[in-house]
Amino acid sequence: QTQKNISIIENPFDAPTYNIPEKPVTFTEGASYSLIILAGLGIAAAVAYGVFKELIFEPKEYQIYWKALQRIQNDSRVRMPIGTPVTGYGSESRNRAARQRIPKIIVNFHIRGPNGAGKVYAEMFRDKVDREWKFMYLIVEVTSPSPAQLMLESYVPA
């Protein structure tokens, strides 16, 4: 009987590295890493909050814009000179009063239809009794085909 001796040759790059001592982390280094991680998490949370607030909770300026546009689209005095469909475009007001949570919003935007165009001026306030948004005024200024000004809503408090 013959015995075969099998020898295993180890690759020096496969040697375990858990025997290499690791340099200890100082308190200052660990604290600075923690601060960087916390700052990154804070920035990510602020961005997520901003996106969530804009996309999930529709700002009141947009709500009032859509309410005014729907009111204009349903009024025959606007549809007759401008035509249908009436579309709205433009930007909502980002005034100081809205930022300070004063319950009043002013929006101005443009409208256009197949026969003409115009500009809309609206101001709304939150009624203290029923907590609903109501128009203080809603004015449509038709610029073409023939200039005209239509007051669709007007509210004078008692």
Which tens digit of pLDDT belongs to each residue from 96-122? 444 445 467 788 888 888 888 889 998
- The answer on 67 and 138 residing in a single domain is yes
- Give the phi and the psi of residue 154 in degrees, each rounded to 5: -150, 125
Angle (CA) 42 46 47, round 5°: 120
pLDDT tens digit sequence for 19-37: 666 677 777 877 888 899 9
- The answer on 121 and 87 residing in a single domain is yes
* Domain assignment of residue 100, given as a range: 60-154
Helices and strands: H and E segment counts in the chain: 4, 5
What is the pTM for the complete model shown?
A: 0.45
- The answer on 118 and 45 residing in a single domain is no
Residue 113 sits in a domain whose CATH number is 3.10.450.320
- The answer on 21 and 87 residing in a single domain is no
- The answer on 64 and 50 residing in a single domain is no
Residue 4 lies in a domain: no
- The answer on 87 and 16 residing in a single domain is no
Q: In Å, how far are 38, 89, 112, 115, 135 from 153, measured between CA atoms? A: 52, 20, 20, 23, 6
